[in-house]
Amino acid sequence: VIDNDKTAVTEGIINNITSKAEVNFNDEDTIQSALINNEIDYAIIIPEGYTNDLISGKNPEITSFEAKEGNSSMAIKTSLDSYINTLKSFAKNANGNEDEFYKALNYYSEGSYKVSYVSVDKGEGNKAKTSAAMGFIVLNMLF
């Protein structure tokens, strides 16, 4: 991870990734070398001004690189996309109001409930089915 913005929002993004994978902080040259040598699976660069652009309603992009598409990088990408979409939703609803954005983010971070996933199957065969079933359960809880 290269965090050129260094805000509470980007710290939350990094924490989201840290809960699913090992995170290292590097520079771009180190990341390129590590990707080429298959020392890392996935890397992201958060640009300077990301948080301000997000809150102001722009659509800032996080640059990502992956050595090869695999299960580990896919899980991180999916989780990251979900978290960023949540942040974009907060920003849209806050209409550029930084206080409202952070209020929503704090409420979300503290959360009134938490969901965790524990696999009882150590094999690879049922993981996709289990994930799909969990998705249906969550959707039914929401609607």
Residues 141 and 83 in one domain: no
pTM of the predicted protein model: 0.70
Report how many domains make up the chain.
2
pLDDT at 114: 59
Same domain, 30 and 71: yes
Task: Please write the tens of the pLDDT for every residue from 49-100.
Answer: 999 999 998 999 999 888 766 556 787 888 889 999 999 999 999 999 999 9
Q: CA 46, 57, 87: angle at the middle one, nearest 5?
A: 60
Place of tokens 């994978």: 21
Task: Please tell me the predicted confidence (pLDDT) of residue 67.
Answer: 75
Compute the distance between CA of residue 64 and CA of residue 97 in angstroms, rounded to an integer. 28
Residue-wise DSSP of 60-99: ---EEEESS--HHHHHHHHHHHHHHHHHHHHHHHHTT-HH
Show the domain range for 61: 2-112
Token pair listed for 44: 């992201």
64/87 same-domain check? yes
Q: Are residues 53 and 119 in the same domain?
A: no
**pLDDT for 139:** 78
